[in-house]
């Protein structure tokens, strides 16, 4: 899967190119250098919305290794689990 990035101007000038690019992966459309829209093929859209994935499947999706995630740290002591 490859990710294509187009500026909003490039997208407006050649929507056909963006449409074709969705066959190999998502197309990010940027405005002033920031992603604002994602264009997907209909098959990819159906795959994403029609099937529930496990957390393992979701985290193993291609391209996620490029995303930095920061989790807030808590100074609270962990509470024991209540299994009642």
What domain count does the chain have? 1
The span from the CA of 39 to the CA of 55, in Å, is 24
pLDDT at 23: 92
CB 33 within 8 A of CB 56: no
What confidence tier does 51 reach under pLDDT thresholds 50, 70, 90? low
The span from the CA of 35 to the CA of 24, in Å, is 18
pLDDT at 43 over 70: yes
Predicted model pTM? 0.56
Range of the domain at 12: 4-52
Question: Could you tell me if residue 77 is inside a domain?
Answer: no
pLDDT at 61: 72
pLDDT at 29: 94
CA 15 to chain CA centroid, Å, is 20
Question: Could you tell me if residue 35 is inside a domain?
Answer: yes
pLDDT at 53: 63
CATH number of the domain residue 45 falls in: 3.40.1620.10
Mean pLDDT across the chain? 84
């Amino acid at each position: 899967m490859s990710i294509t990035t187009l500026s909003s101007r490039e997208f407006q000038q050649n929507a056909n190119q963006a449409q074709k690019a969705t066959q190999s992966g998502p197309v990010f459309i940027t405005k002033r250098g920031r992603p604002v829209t994602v264009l997907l093929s209909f098959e990819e859209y159906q795959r994403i919305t029609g099937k529930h994935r496990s957390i393992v499947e979701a985290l193993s999706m291609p391209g996620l290794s490029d995303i930095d995630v920061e989790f807030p740290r808590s100074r609270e002591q962990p509470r024991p689990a209540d299994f009642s």
